[in-house]
Structure 1
Amino acid sequence: MSKRIVIFGSTGTLGRKSFDLALKLGFKIVGLTAFKNLEGINKQVEIAKPSFIALDGQFIHNFESANTKVCALENVHECLLEVKPDLVLFLASGISSAQSIKVCIDNGIRIGIANKESIISFGEILFENREYGDNVIPIDSEASAVFQILKGEEKESIEKIIITASGGPFFGYKRETLQRVNLDDVLKHPNWQMGKKITVDSANLVNKAFEIIETHFLFNVPYSIIEALVQRESVIHAMVEFVDGEIKGLLSKPDMLLPIQYALTYPQRVEFNLQRLDLASLGKLTFYEIDRETFPLFDVILNYAMLGGTYLPSIVAIDEVLVEKFINGEIKFLDIERLFIEFLSKVEYQKIGSLEEAKFVYNEIKNKVIEFVRRKI
């Protein structure tokens, strides 16, 4: 088995894991993208010798390689069509990958995707009411689990899709306790090692709301049949209940290398040298309802997302600004929720018909939130 791979966001947390794993599997990495991590991508170029890399335009001239073409991120889709890879992994955060995702979809290039921001912001344009079969392979652990569970099943037989949540570092906390938490507390995720932003999003359950939106678009199913459930051990990643009452689930150790490898080797499975799940040692599996009272942003985001239109890119933009402000120490943890709800209530609904319109809304909202926060603190 040999494949030619392109990795978007190759210097990020998931990107580095995917880079190492693809090489270990013997695949040829033909393209890499990063924003400005020149040191990281230079090391990867030395190892993989890809056909091209893409960087933010202002950093292009800082990269030199005789055998590797360098292009601006906004034009990377042209390089994709030149090399015609077998698989493109979209692992970068933010919305910069949207055009490339569309190019791959339109040209039948299989993608593995963990780029929630693009799925949400452009979901109505790229995914709604469309069936891509196995040309779009989710990489988030929950969505990957749903994808695997549904193989061989008829969509009409689905009664309910259940994605699971760890509950984050503040499971069981009350509101008054959350007023005193700091960044170090937030970043102590019980079961995963992730980047700072997604760890913050997990702590207030924003990430779980995002994953429900992601599930809606990736699997073309109504919001009404998707729910989230806390599974504290984080070994059941998703379950699907069918019309006959039977439930299928996917279980594994909580390690993002597993869904990454599944996307890389699909439709085959290959041996993986990870410590296996020992159910007898685990002893129990526990389930709890989402604590909507302590984490109200979960429902707020979903209620606006169901309305669609301008709310989808707005949700992504607001979250990006507020989480960055919290990580930088400019606002407190509960300020994310307070400011999010206050600003989102001011956004007016408009239908969005193109990537360009969605990008415009995202950028406009981001700038407005920055100014809004400046006036509030």
Structure 2
Amino acid sequence: MGKTVTKEKRLQKSHERVDKLFNWAENEKFSNSRKKKNGLSKTSYTGYREKMHALVNKYSEKFGEYEIVKFEKEKMMQLIREEFTNSFTQKAYTHAADFFTKASTQSTVFKAPVVLLDKRKMEEYWQTNGIYRRAKDSTVLKATHDDCKAVIEELKQSHSPYKSQAILAIELGRRIGSRIEGALSLRGKDIVLNTDGTATVHLNEKGNLDRWVRITNPEDVLYLEKLKGRLKKQDQTVMNPLHYRSGIHATNLMNQDKAAERLAKVTQSAAIRAGLSNPARKDEAGFSIHSARKTFCQTQVDHYSEMSKRELHGELDRRIEEQEKRIERLEKENYSFTSFREKYQAALERVNWVNKAQGIRRTTKERDLNHKELCLLLASFDSGHFRVDILRFYSQYFPATKKPRD
């Protein structure tokens, strides 16, 4: 019995040290990426923390070692390869363990660095075995604008004190493609009304990445103008903060995670009443706030599909140049930028190579992105995915016949 208790205590101690390291990382805004000078997003820290707790449990069960400082990197890499069979999950847990390793070298939580794996060896393993990242299946409905409006109408009839915030989250999702955290944090000064009748919206969301979305639809521009105009100060958020209404936290401000959870529940109830969600059918995609982003993505893909290939390349060149000028102008202001030029090159490599490092081609000769791929790439810049393959879960490509595909 005593031996079992000892194991439990050692395991508990390992979990406590994981939490202690991540608390330090969040407080110090530690990042293992040079591009993210202002730290990771709350979601990223939380995700890595949860994965590390899972790895501690799995390692202890598999190898009978309960102290994280005694974990062996070869065994950890073996565990990840054997326990997680798909590329997406393997890489997610590898990134979490690599983050932990690098954070342990900078903090004082451990007397010496805790090296859990060799990321380069894992990458070599993926290349050797042809393991490539694939977009994870989406579990939410591809909603239309009418679907969004139907849920909004149900929300208007709701008795929830948070219905106005839920409505705004859906409106922003379908109009500017914001995620829930983007809607919660959007400020008046993040909306710029341009002299040409368009608007540019700055969003800071998943992975602490910044993106700027150009809005051209006059109705959406007017909507943003009204949001911006009703604020007394432009550093205010366009969404009223959510407060607890009862219990021991009554009147306290909700943090972003709790606010997102509350809005998700309110929205799901409205979606059920609108006939767009059925919790009893786990195999069916239901409407959520995230569904509104899919509406936005479809709108963008439809917009680009009306262009010829020459026009799409012109738009791509314009976006690359615009982003590079923005990076040059704002590089000292702690923004996390995404290089559109690099993403375009990555897309080209993806369509031409199975494994470039090993010289395994997908095509007999280099080809450019086709019309569909260009449409999806540009839409992914707008949505903040920056990858063509993910957009297939967010939209469908309907080629227009009005423009030549030159």
TM-score, normalization by structure 1:
0.28
Q: Which has the larger radius of gyration?
A: 2
Structure with bigger helix share is 2
